[in-house]
Amino acid sequence: MNLNRSISWKSTFKNLYVFSVLALIIIIFSSISSNFIGAPNITNIIRQSVPLLLVSTSVTLLMMSGNIDLSVGGILGLCSVVFSIMINAGSGYFMAAVLTLLLGVFIGFFNGFLVVRLRIVPVIATLATMSLCVGLGKLMSPGGIGLIKGLPEDIVGFGRTPFLLRLPISVYVAAAVIIVLVVLQRKTLLGKYAAAIGGNSTAAELSGINVVKTVWLLYVIVGLCAALAGITRTSLLSLGDPVTGMGMEMDAMIAVVLGGTSFSGGEGSVARTVIGVLVLMCLTAGMQVIGAEAYYQTIVKGIVLIIAVVVDVLVKEKIDD
Amino acid sequence: MRNLNAQNNANSRISNLTFAILSMLVVLVVIFTIASICVPRFFDINNISNLIAQQAEIIILGIGVTFLLIAGYFDMSVGGIISMAAVLSAYFCQATGAAANDLGSGLGLGYGTAIALTLICCMAIGALNALLVVKLKVNSVIATLGTMAVARGIAMIVAKGAQRITGLPEEFCAIGQFTIIGTINLAVVISIILLIIALIIENKTIFGRRIYLIGANQTAAKLSGINVDRQVAILYITSAFLAGISGIVMASRFNAGNCALGTGYEFDALVITVLGGTSIFGGFGSVTCAVVGAFILGILSTSVNMLGFQPSMQMLVKGVVIIVSILALRFALNKRNV
Amino acid sequence: MSDNVLEIRNLTKVFPGVRAIDDVSFNIERNTVHCLVGENGAGKSTLIKILTGAYGRSDGTILLNGKEYIAHNPKEAKKMGISTLFQELNVVDQLTVEENLTLGNEDTKYGFLTKSDKSKKILEVLKSIEPSINSKHKVGRLSVAKKQIVEIAKAVASEADIIIMDEPTAAISEGEIKRLFRIIRNLKENNVTVIYISHRLDEIFELGDNVTVMRDGKHVETKPVREVKDRSELIKMMIGKTVIESYIPKDEKAEETLLEVKGLSNSKLHDISFNVNKGEIVGFYGLVGAGKTELARAVYGADKYSGEVIFKGEKLGTSTGKVISAGIVLVPEERRTEGVFTKLTIRENIPVMNMSKITKAGFLNSNMERKVADEYIEKLDIATHSMEKETAKLSGGNQQKVVISKCLFADADLLIMDEPTRGIDVGTKGEIYSIMRQLSTEGKSIMMFSSELPEIVNNCDRIMLLYDGKLKAEIENGTDINSEMIIHIVTGGES
């Protein structure tokens, strides 16, 4: 049947699409500069992509249910600040990390509350949360905008120091988290229900799914991952910075949409989002390697987001014809 | 049951919108009074005229964002357009040729031409928004976040991540710095003029009325013969145009084309619009809401500053305020309409 | 266990101004196909909405398997054993068939999806019903007919006692209908009772065991299908005596052609051609799925079509703005979502289609606007204390009056009215009919689309009969009108 053909064309297209974009980028940049494909650069790319990986993969699940979270950058920044303050105050790494993660869970819970209980539109609700997080983070930083410095030397132990195969522990932790999320998405009720809610929330309700609880949980997961991303970022930079996460919400959306997860929900893939993140990181790293100044990144990201979203819409339209 | 003059229910004579605006005006007066009492040196002519002047730019933005929100659409690109307009307006009229570095020389056009060209570029971004949202039917939040990055990206490239500050013509700082009374500058005058035009459009023109119709029920609007696509496209281009004016004014005030200008302004514009009573869901609101919202937020921010809190307190305030106002207005209107 | 799976006793449902269901009582036997027939407005859908929990009842009792049955929402109804196949399919396209079947009812171990006997059994149910459906395919790939089957399988697997099917054959092909019937018959063997609602009378005879006829909210009769002699007996029960009291034939026949439609076709319509003359009221009658709304929208330019629509000698296209300026307006089928701007006031709604009329020197003039609102509130007797009332708060009848005011204000020569009196109380219905007749004497033309035969017969000069997207017959109205023949044609019979 014609319909069958076009739908399976769509899934194959989506699967190939993001891989080919990644391949393309790698090819282009390595041909311009041999530095690109060298080991130190790749190590750098991978360890710097940990925060974005954590955020994007958790956001994938949320977007599958048809919801959005613009506060992830703010959560990351606030957690970075809180974590740094606790370390500087003498707390052990483990304790500080646990408390920071709890903070992330709480903020995620708050987001969920605003969206499903108070029924505030996700865009506004999460923008408000972002404002609160950045505001709080800045207040806690010296001078209101300063960075938290003077962290002990070994803070980089988590995010920078090579642990195995020249990659830091954070990479392996992120890999574990990603695997958990992939399993959640593919093999558990949560993943299935997220897709069902995004695909047809009326049918989901009628089948007995508790939409409120499911979406709430998804926001909590995003909060938790954003907190972990904040800890990693602190470790990478050796600083606590309330605005270090600015723009991450857009990066996450780019990675997710590049990975083929539809913005309107119903389907998606955490695994493909990972590739989307790699595309983005290669793009930024590649631009650095060929000597483009940092300020070119913004417009490139904007163009990539627009192209990715347009492709998503066009592919969907082709199916409906 | 045709007693149109009978006031059985006094409430039904005042529309919901008037009720919302009046309520927020009351809030404004209350906050102003509290601030005047509690905050030292608040009730001071200099301070108040400063307050008024500071709102000019955000109010100009608020006009475009309000119209789109009433029609049911978001425009998150305005912050990026401000920075693009600021930088381009400087670049176009910077003196050409012999300068120490690239950032010191521009195209050497007249200031008037620079403004015109800048506004054309801004409208191009608006047209891109229209193309994505109206024609390709991309979600308005995502599409405009993308164009925001494009606009800001252009600003960052042209300003090389910094600002264009040298070789600017004398008139460049006129709008932002030339004052009439106290601190009331040309920017305030421009914003008042634009406000008046916006109010006329909103209340007295067919175009304005159609914005509400589209926001209230797009399907019915289409079936009533309204060309929704064209109208929304015009609104996006207008919003971009207004953001451009705001950016030009801002650059003038700082006497520099700085690509960091306008950061976060898209959120601020949303806050004041919603704070003043415009509904997120469309079909309900007014530019007066944006004005009232701007002043409420302005008073809150200034008070926070003057009470000695850090400026970053403002972000907290904005976050709290937007949530509280959405809930409060929803509650009040629900009670009224039961 | 009693022989009756469902007993309905003295069920009544009252809305403001309308008695949708009035003291209805009948029983449904276990493991039968029980058909529910009646014209539009007979009360069928209200009855179903009560059974599925979408509405509450005003009075009466319902016994399911001998026990009292009250459902507050569709989720509850499903749990208690009544599942419904609506016309809007309740499947998630992006999930596979298997995932849809087990949705909400999965096997889990610590939250992980596993496959145990429960899901195996559910898949077996699907296999036994329709083996050709691959459970690993995404539902979005299936045809509408197969999606329906997936829903049926899901209902069976959730151990429904009763499955309600509302016009299930409206969107599927002949062959798929045969397959559906086979499946329905098998359902009976598997302890499921089917309540089957359809206007296609042949299907009743082919599939039904028992049939209940409703009319004007009341129960007419319930009897075994085999005791029903033929179509015309069923039809007589459905329409009772159609009294043509108020139709007065015109003295002069309208001659001047206003609208010509030639060969109009699109995905739902097939080669429709007709004319409308000046001062005529032309009725378009057909039941659900006949293509009424599609035809109305096509002529109005709201949907694409091939063929020609010529109005006052000029060809019209698909721009509603241009169509309105040419002189045609539409009163849409769904007033809340398409006709009225519910968030806005009466005053703001009325001038929408012709706003230049309330402008002075290019600007909207609020005095003129208020005068217009006053004028129409008075003319149409809209029940309100103030023109500033939000239209969302008006009753259905008054909302429709606002829509009609909106259309009248546009000074059109042709009004297309799609189900103009649906869900409106009797008093207001009469007022709307008088407005229509008044317009007709003023020389305006009206195209009235309706699925209520009495209002068609009482008001229209000519009657067009639609079935399955085709124009089947054109009749002049008069005292010798044959209602039975009309119903025969619109339910699929040949003339």
In a domain, A224, yes or no: yes
What percentage of residues in chain C have a pLDDT greater than 90? Answer: 35
In a domain, A108, yes or no: yes
Q: What was the pLDDT predicted at A8? A: 59
Which A positions 209-248 lie with beta carbon below 8 A of chain C? 209
Size of interface A-C (CB pairs under 8 A): 70
Q: What was the pLDDT predicted at B183? A: 67
Q: Given a cut of 80, is residue C260 above it in pLDDT? A: yes
Contacts of C348 in chain B (CB under 8 A): 209, 212
Q: What was the pLDDT predicted at A104? A: 97
Interface residue C132 vs chain A (CB under 8 A):
no
In a domain, A301, yes or no: no
Cα nearest neighbour of A138 on chain B: B312
The answer to which of A60-69, A188-197, C452-461 has the lowest mean pLDDT is C452-461
Task: For A171, list phi and psi in degrees, rounded to 5.
Answer: -65, -40
Cβ pair C388:B15 closer than 8 A = yes
Q: What was the pLDDT predicted at B302? A: 87
A24-80 pLDDT, tens digit per residue, is 777 777 777 766 667 677 788 888 899 999 999 999 999 999 999 999 999 999 999
> Which of C360, C388, C400, C405 should be substituted to probe chain B, the one whose Cβ sees the most B Cβ atoms within 10 Å?
C388
In a domain, A201, yes or no: yes
Provide the pLDDT confidence category of residue C202 given band limits of 50, 70 and 90.
Answer: confident
Q: What was the pLDDT predicted at A318? A: 64
What length is written for chain B? 338
Compute mean pLDDT per 10 residues along chain B, 338 residues long, and list them: 40 72 89 86 81 88 95 95 94 76 76 92 97 93 94 92 80 76 80 95 93 94 94 97 94 88 90 89 91 92 84 86 89 80
Q: Given a cut of 70, is residue A144 above it in pLDDT? A: no
C215-230 pLDDT, tens digit per residue, is 888 898 999 999 888 8
Cβ pair A120:B326 closer than 8 A = yes
- Token couple for C300: 């109005």
Smallest Cβ distance to B138: which of A124, A297, A310? A310
In a domain, A39, yes or no: no
Q: Given a cut of 50, is residue C488 above it in pLDDT? A: yes
Chains contacting C (3 or more CB pairs within 8 Å):
A, B
Cα nearest neighbour of C336 on chain B: B220
In a domain, A41, yes or no: no
Cβ pair C95:A199 closer than 8 A = yes
Q: Which helix (H) or strand (E) holds C474?
A: strand C470-476
The answer to which of A258-267, C50-59, C203-212 has the lowest mean pLDDT is A258-267
What percentage of residues in chain C have a pLDDT greater than 70? Answer: 96
Q: What was the pLDDT predicted at A128? A: 94
Contacts of B224 in chain C (CB under 8 A): 320, 324, 352-353, 406
- Chain centroid offset of residue C32 CA: 26
Q: What was the pLDDT predicted at B1? A: 39
In chain A, the number of structural domains is: 1
The answer to which of A231-245, A267-281, B36-50, C93-107 has the lowest mean pLDDT is B36-50
Smallest Cβ distance to A206: which of C90, C94, C143? C90
Q: What was the pLDDT predicted at B98? A: 58
- Residue A222's domain spans which residues? 48-245
Measured from the Cβ of residue B37, the count of other Cβ atoms closer than 10 Å reads: 9
Average pLDDT of the segment spanning A296-303: 90
Q: What was the pLDDT predicted at B182? A: 67
Q: What was the pLDDT predicted at B11? A: 44
In a domain, A298, yes or no: no
Interface residue A39 vs chain C (CB under 8 A):
no
In a domain, A145, yes or no: yes
Cβ pair C341:B283 closer than 8 A = yes
Q: Given a cut of 70, is residue A203 above it in pLDDT? A: yes
Q: Given a cut of 80, is residue C278 above it in pLDDT? A: yes
Average pLDDT of the segment spanning C324-352: 92
Contacts of B133 in chain A (CB under 8 A): none
Average pLDDT of the segment spanning C160-187: 87
Q: Given a cut of 60, is residue C265 above it in pLDDT? A: yes
Between vectors from CA C131 to CA C126 and to CA C137, what angle results, nearest 5°? 75
Smallest Cβ distance to C95: which of A4, A190, A196? A196
What length is written for chain C? 495
Q: Given a cut of 50, is residue C46 above it in pLDDT? A: yes
Contacts of B221 in chain C (CB under 8 A): 341
Interface residue B311 vs chain A (CB under 8 A):
yes
